[in-house]
């Protein structure tokens, strides 16, 4: 009875995985559009892995010759896809499904497909032994661990780039891998485990994707309601600008759009769209206007007699003199010194 219920719940998880894969494949977002195909591929692969467990433990794997080794090969893509997704959120470099990080997965998948296609050939027999060997299982776990360490390092180094979805996926998938690895060591050193245990591992994947799916639905519904209640853009503009001035968020020299969106409690891609639409500027230029405004007011009130001009600039959030002078010249059309002379 327990096995049947677990199989049914896993089947729900498979459906959610494929549905999420389709949603992220079609979803367009100004935030990080290259991350969406990676998420789509990740959910598709997880769905295949869960489906393989269902087929394997319900007795249908014999009728689907080749599905299990292909599924095992696709599991090699989980860690690098998660890593590439995290990298894209940082925005330093754009990664796609053609990334070199997936080369070993494509090679392993190619060997598996060729071995299944030509099972009686020398290559086919070698390939099937190779993909089912203990060495490949060990390699997969080491490969997963290496990528997981790299991902956690990025989380630790730049936590401001990673929102709720990324954290849920990384810690959720990482915890499931650790549990699976523990069961693998138990099976290797002590003895086999009940079938339901293996079903419950993939059930954790199912629970993760179901939770993510319904969380996304609630967010979409909340945004739809917000749009209905949304005030004219001029009001929104006044509120955002007023909040930035009142709290002086621009004084943070490391301020970026994700940090500011957190302060304002807005999705960062909505804030980015708002800045582009209402100001026709990138984020740095938009924030530098507030900094220049503060420095200009300080110069008008003779505060430069107590502080140096660069001291005022640093207080306003500028990291370097070159950035300050370039921004001042761009905004005011003159240098700070010439600006002071005009005030005299």
- pLDDT-derived band at 208 (thresholds 50, 70, 90) equals confident
What is the tens place of the pLDDT at every residue in 161-181?
777 778 888 898 989 889 888
- 29 pLDDT above the threshold of 50: no
What is the sign of the dihedral through the CA atoms of 240, 243, 248 and 252?
negative
Q: How far apart are CA 318 and CA 166, in angstroms?
A: 31
How high is the mean pLDDT of the chain? Answer: 82
Say if residues 37 and 96 touch (Cβ distance below 8 Å).
Answer: yes
What is the tens place of the pLDDT at every residue in 88-103?
877 666 788 888 999 9
- pLDDT-derived band at 66 (thresholds 50, 70, 90) equals confident
What is the sign of the dihedral through the CA atoms of 153, 157, 158 and 160?
positive
Q: How far apart are CA 167 and CA 163, in angstroms?
A: 6
What is the sign of the dihedral through the CA atoms of 284, 266, 173 and 59?
negative
- 300 pLDDT above the threshold of 80: yes
- 231 pLDDT above the threshold of 70: no
Q: How far apart are CA 41 and CA 77, in angstroms?
A: 9
Q: For residues 234-263, give the mean pLDDT.
A: 83
């Amino acid at each position: 009875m327990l096995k049947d219920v677990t199989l049914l719940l896993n089947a729900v998880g498979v459906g959610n995985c494929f549905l999420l894969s389709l949603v992220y494949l079609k979803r367009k977002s100004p935030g990080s559009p290259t991350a969406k195909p990676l998420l789509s591929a990740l959910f598709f692969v997880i769905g295949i892995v869960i489906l393989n467990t269902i087929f394997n433990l319900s007795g249908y794997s014999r009728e689907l010759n080749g599905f299990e080794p292909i599924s095992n090969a696709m599991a090699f893509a989980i860690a690098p896809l998660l890593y590439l997704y995290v990298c894209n959120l940082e925005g330093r470099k754009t990664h796609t499904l053609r990334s070199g990080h997936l080369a070993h997965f494509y090679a392993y998948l190619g060997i598996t497909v060729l071995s299944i296609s030509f099972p009686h050939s020398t290559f086919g027999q070698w390939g099937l032994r190779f993909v089912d060997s203990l060495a490949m299982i060990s390699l997969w776990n080491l490969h997963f661990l290496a990528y997981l360490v790299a991902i956690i390092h990025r989380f630790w180094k730049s936590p401001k780039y990673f929102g709720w979805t990324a954290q849920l996926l990384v810690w959720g998938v990482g915890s499931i891998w650790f549990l699976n690895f523990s069961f693998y060591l138990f099976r290797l050193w002590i003895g086999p485990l009940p079938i339901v245990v293996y079903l419950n591992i993939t059930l954790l994947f199912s629970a993760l994707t179901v939770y993510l799916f319904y969380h996304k639905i609630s967010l979409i519904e909340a945004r739809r309601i917000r749009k209905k209640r949304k005030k004219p853009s001029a009001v929104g503009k006044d509120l955002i600008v007023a909040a930035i001035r009142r709290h002086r968020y621009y004084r943070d020299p490391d301020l970026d759009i994700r940090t500011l969106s957190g302060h304002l409690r807005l999705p960062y891609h909505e804030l980015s769209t708002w800045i582009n639409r209402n100001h026709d500027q990138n984020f740095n230029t938009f924030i530098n206007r507030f900094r220049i405004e503060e420095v200009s007011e300080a110069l008008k009130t003779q505060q430069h007699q107590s502080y140096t001009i660069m001291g005022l600039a640093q207080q306003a959030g500028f990291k370097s003199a070159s950035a300050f002078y370039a921004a001042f010249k761009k905004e005011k059309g003159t240098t700070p010194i010439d600006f002071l002379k005009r005030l005299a």
